[in-house]
Amino acid sequence: MKYYLILLCLVIGIASCGKKSKLSDFIENPDDQNPYTISSTHVGIIQRGTNINQLYSLYPKKQIKLIKNKGGFFNQEFDDYNVYDRDGILLFTATPEVSGDTSSYINRIIIRDTIFKTAEGIGLNSTLGELRDAYHNIHFLPSSGEIVVSVPKVSTNFLINKANLDDSWWDNTTNDIIEKNIPDSTQIDGVVVFWNTKEAASKVPAVFTANFWNEMLTKLITWCVIQLPSIAILIVLFVSLLRALRFTVKKMKKIATTKAHKAADIDDGEAEKRINTLTGIIYGIGRIFLWVIFLLILLGKFNINIAPILASAGIVGLAVGFGAQELVRDFISGFFILLEDQLRTGDWAVINGTEGLVEKIELRTVTLRDSSGVVHIFQNGKIDTLSNMTKEWSAIVLNIGIAYKEDTDNAVALMQQVGDEMLNDPQYKDIMLEPVSISGVNDFADSAVMIRLVLKTKPMQQWTVGREYRRRLKKLFDEKNVEFPFPYRSITWGDSSNPIRLKIEKSDSDISDIPK
């Protein structure tokens, strides 16, 4: 007899294992209540006023999974408890009032399975028309991505996805929902039950209660008390750091300029150009660094997770690295221009055939203004030729032409005299670095003998010295009767060695025209 009883138990056990699981199969001590009904006081066996500890007593622990989330206006943390059946199908999500407190009451349940319905048969697989037929007291409310249909009778919100509707449901004039323009065939996409556990008699969602807004106000005040002082300190610190950066750069510039003035082997003007260029680059990079750090910390104060932002920036940077090779080339070229001191702010240079004053040097571009006032901007990576006309010192080359009849030695002596006078002139002796260098006869032109000379000056002073030298040389040549040439031609007939001889004779008519 004993063996028959054991065999019977085994048969019953095998049959039970093959039977499809239901919610009541793993609920301890289930009552007669429908485990899938939605009402204002319960969702299945979950009663209003149930806390998380009681939830664990109603369902096996292995069927409950805790998910930590953030959301809401202040991005607060909250706990979501997903409840599954034995087959791993998600039934619903329960959210308590207080995060991290298992004694906290459940105030929100999000229905995940179509098996849950109200007493009138409304659930996830229902339509708006069925909802309208089942309940007469309903309210339509706009939300970020859905239209909320609130049913106070069951303390439940039924959600409709806006993407499934055309624009006729919204009235831009009154800023309100046109309920009649939402068709009855619209599918219900979400079901959320709200319970105000502190006011058991309330049958409306928590968002409509004074208690909800009191809690929100309390959270706002708490956030202001905790976060606003730190944000204010952060702003003050940021502004102070910007001022400190500006002060430090100015101090560095002043110290470097002072040292350059004291150094006998360093030209003051050249050193000042170099210092201005480098301090400008340092200040720009420092400002970018401070702004990035400030914004990242500020986002953290508003509970915005910056990790995805940094990850996205890395991905974007990788993509830009492949697509912006020209930009990278510009930055590298700009770095070497600064490192090798090829160009400085205030130099007069010729870049890709364009001559002008260097107004700005950045890591990506060089700004040049020509003598007509036109601004030219060159990408550093596309600078093929660069000629700096004012690096350390400058010079002007003059080709002075004298008539063939003049004595070249005398002309050279006079040109040397003008150069020596200017070198001894207080107005020009400080900007002329060397005495005038006369190369001598440099060419035989069509109507002049060309004498070449070079004037070496401080940067950007070659044109001033050259103009003054020409003015003084013209006055001295006029005084000494040295002729500047002008074009003339010798006319020959036949043999070039026998020029045509012309003799002018007076005719009788010319004599008769002479007045008496």
Instruction: Kindly report the three-state secondary structure assignment for every residue of 472-492.
Output: HHHHHHHHCCCCCCCCCCCCE
Residues 168 and 270 in one domain: no
In this structure, what CATH number is given to the domain that contains residue 179?
A: 2.60.460.10
Residues 366 and 424 in one domain: no
Q: Quick one: average pLDDT of 315-338?
A: 72
Residues 140 and 258 in one domain: no
Residues 105 and 201 in one domain: yes
Residues 40 and 95 in one domain: yes
Among the candidates 320, 351, 375, a domain finishes at 320
Is the Cα torsion angle 19, 21, 24, 27 positive or negative in sign? positive
Which of 72, 143, 145, 81 has its CA nearest to residue 112? 81
Task: With respect to residue 474, please indicate whether it lies within any of the assigned structural domains.
Answer: yes
Task: With respect to residue 487, please indicate whether it lies within any of the assigned structural domains.
Answer: no
Residues 255 and 367 in one domain: no
Task: With respect to residue 507, please indicate whether it lies within any of the assigned structural domains.
Answer: no
Q: Write down the mean pLDDT value for the chain.
A: 79
Domain range for 31 is 23-208
- For the segment 214-249, what is each residue's pLDDT rounded down to a tens digit? 667 777 787 787 778 888 888 899 899 989 988 888
Distances (CA, A) of 169 to 133, 146, 166, 191: 20, 12, 7, 21
What pLDDT does residue 376 have? Answer: 92
Among the candidates 289, 320, 351, a domain finishes at 320
- CB under 8 Å to 305, separation ≥6 — which residues? 70
Task: With respect to residue 462, please indicate whether it lies within any of the assigned structural domains.
Answer: yes
Question: Pick the residue with more confidence: 235 or 260?
Answer: 235
In this structure, what CATH number is given to the domain that contains residue 234?
A: 1.10.287
Residues 169 and 93 in one domain: yes
Residue 322 pLDDT exceeds 80 = no
Residue 209 pLDDT exceeds 60 = no
- For the segment 81-109, what is each residue's pLDDT rounded down to a tens digit? 999 988 889 999 999 988 888 888 898 99
In this structure, what CATH number is given to the domain that contains residue 366?
A: 2.30.30.60
Residues 137 and 37 in one domain: yes
Residues 58 and 160 in one domain: yes
- Alpha carbons 186 and 99: distance in angstroms, whole number: 35
DSSP E strands in 99-225: the ranges are 106-111, 117-118, 139-142, 146-151, 156-161, 170-171, 176-177, 190-194
139-142 and 146-151 as β-strands: parallel, antiparallel, unpaired? antiparallel
- For the segment 53-76, what is each residue's pLDDT rounded down to a tens digit? 888 888 888 899 998 887 655 567
- Least confident stretch, 14-28, 50-64, 74-88, 471-485: 14-28
> Domain count of the chain?
4
User: Is residue 313 within a helix (H) or strand (E), and if so which, with residue range?
Assistant: helix 307-323
Residues 168 and 257 in one domain: no
Local confidence band at 513 (pLDDT 50, 70, 90 cut-offs): low
Task: With respect to residue 56, please indicate whether it lies within any of the assigned structural domains.
Answer: yes
Distances (CA, A) of 473 to 37, 189, 402, 442, 484: 112, 96, 12, 18, 11
- For the segment 440-462, what is each residue's pLDDT rounded down to a tens digit? 898 898 889 999 999 999 888 88
| Residue that has been written with the tokens 């609130």 in this structure | 150
In this structure, what CATH number is given to the domain that contains residue 475?
A: 3.30.70.100
The token duo for 110 is 């999000």
Q: Quick one: average pLDDT of 363-369?
A: 88
- For the segment 104-142, what is each residue's pLDDT rounded down to a tens digit? 889 899 999 989 999 899 999 899 889 889 998 888 888
Percent of the chain at pLDDT > 70 equals 77
Residue 491 pLDDT exceeds 80 = no
Task: With respect to residue 58, please indicate whether it lies within any of the assigned structural domains.
Answer: yes
- Nearest 5°: CA angle at 316, between 315 and 317? 90
Residues 141 and 161 in one domain: yes
